[in-house]
Amino acid sequence: MSMRYFITGTAGFIGFHLARRLLQDGHEVTGFDGMTHYYNIKLKHMRNAALAQFPAFTPVTAMLEDRAALEQAVTAARPDVMIHLAAQAGVRYSNENPEAYLNSNLIGSWNILEIARKSGVAHLMLASTSSIYGANPTVPFHETDRADEPLTFYAATKKSMELMAHSYAHLHKIPTTAFRFFTVYGPWGRPDMALFKFVKNMLEGQPIEIYGEGKMSRDFTYIDDLVEAVVRLSAVVPGESNRIASEKVETLSHQAPFRIVNIGGGQPISLLDFVETVEKALGQPARRVMLPMQQGDVPRTYASPDLLRALTGYTPETSLEQGVAAFVEWYLEARRELDTAA
Ligand SMILES: NC(=O)c1ccc[n+]([C@@H]2O[C@H](COP(=O)([O-])OP(=O)(O)OC[C@H]3O[C@@H](n4cnc5c(N)ncnc54)[C@H](O)[C@@H]3O)[C@@H](O)[C@H]2O)c1
């Protein structure tokens, strides 16, 4: 059955892929994005142009902080499901420009909550992050772990968004799923993230910077797997009827139709193994510059995929080799346009 989706952040990496998948599945999508200049805006225009091929796609260019514009867009879209992905992303940049995070992730997300309340949407979904686990010493990270010690302001804003959303879910009975994404990568990916930077630099004969002397590890999630998980979760509207018996994994609130779910495969990879995978995909060695951990870096991320599996029967499955190869194939095609397009 065709449904109406309102997605924020559709000119961004994850929002683009999710919107495209839903459009391919025959749904209607309104995409709301402020086209911020955090990274190469050309990539956002290229993603928008690809989505514009679908007649069922309606783009809206405005900022989340502009409540009137947001409200107008949601009223026109009459969505069944709202998926809020737009944010000031990036861990390190939050040391430089915390205000961008405050505006987009707190005020912007609060506007989304207010409008979800008024529109009576059947399911609100929000993007949070593995960064909120901070330096959690126990692995894998379960959603039920205490996650109250964020190491970056980015993580603090995302944790705050989760808390604000819980109160709205309780007060206004808005069924809400907050997903915690773990290092998402793949074609059309973000230029500020390691895979993009490594491939670009290596192809241009430049060295790559490896933080934490390569000892950090990340649970990498391939974009198509993440989209599959989000699509499946969109049908699992939080409520007592789908409460999972295990208290160790279930996060469904006892006060509200609100649940937090990790989206990650539970297979962390050290940064040195990651670099080797990129070297193999490009068929050339990298010139490595080893640097210490940066302020706010977390030593590892490692998702427990148990709750996602219990709710949807699905666990991310794409190998790093396959995912990196897909990125490289896309990048080799796209790089000329990225460097020249308006
Ligand atoms: N990519 C990852 O590995 C990852 C990991 C954890 C969490 N997340 C979260 O997933 C979501 C999507 O991330 P992404 O990787 O696609 O990032 P992205 O930067 O590619 O996409 C975010 C989009 O939001 C838009 N945006 C930013 N601030 C806005 C505002 N105030 N008003 C309107 N639009 C605004 C930007 O223009 C951009 O197109 C974000 O909430 C991010 O925090 C991503």
Coil, helix or strand at residue 277: helix
* Token duo for residue 201: 């630099």
User: What single letter denotes the amino acid at residue 75?
Assistant: T
194 DSSP β-pair partners: none
The string of pLDDT tens digits covering residues 187-222 is: 999 999 999 999 999 999 999 999 998 899 999 999
Check residue 303 and report its DSSP letter.
Answer: B
Q: Which of 45, 85, 177 to mutate to test the pocket of ligand 1 (most atoms within 8 A of CB)?
A: 85
The string of pLDDT tens digits covering residues 108-161 is: 999 999 999 999 999 999 999 999 999 999 999 999 999 999 999 999 999 999
Report the distance separating Cα 149 and Cα 93, nearest Å. Answer: 19
Residue 239 CA to ligand 1 centre (angstroms): 27
Contact between 10 and 51 (Cβ < 8 Å): yes
Q: Which residues contact residue 337 at a Cβ distance below 8 angstroms, ignoring those fewer than 6 apart? A: 42, 46
In which residue are the tokens 């040391």 written? 95
The string of pLDDT tens digits covering residues 303-328 is: 999 999 999 999 999 999 999 999 99
pLDDT of res. 214: 85
Provide φ and ψ at 290, rounded to 5°.
Answer: -85, 130
Query: Catalytic one among 39, 101, 154, 331?
Result: 154
Instruction: Answer yes or no: is pLDDT of 338 > 90.
Output: yes
Give residue 229's pLDDT band: very low, low, confident or very high (50, 70, 90). Answer: very high
Instruction: Answer yes or no: is pLDDT of 342 > 60.
Output: no
86, 110, 75: which is closest to 4 by C-alpha? 75
- Domains of the chain in start order, with CATH, are 4-184+220-264+302-316 (3.40.50.720)
Report the distance separating Cα 136 and Cα 133, nearest Å. Answer: 6
- Return the HEC string of 230-248: HHHHHCCCCCHHHCCCCCC
The string of pLDDT tens digits covering residues 323-332 is: 999 999 999 9
Instruction: Answer yes or no: is pLDDT of 8 > 90.
Output: yes
pLDDT of res. 339: 87
Furthest CA-CA distance within the chain: 56
pLDDT of res. 341: 52
Instruction: Answer yes or no: is pLDDT of 56 > 90.
Output: yes
- The percentage of residues in the chain with a pLDDT greater than 90, rounded to a whole number, is 96
Residue 10 CA to ligand 1 centre (angstroms): 9
Q: Which residues contact residue 48 at a Cβ distance below 8 angstroms, ignoring those fewer than 6 apart? A: 10, 11, 31, 33, 59
pLDDT of res. 266: 92
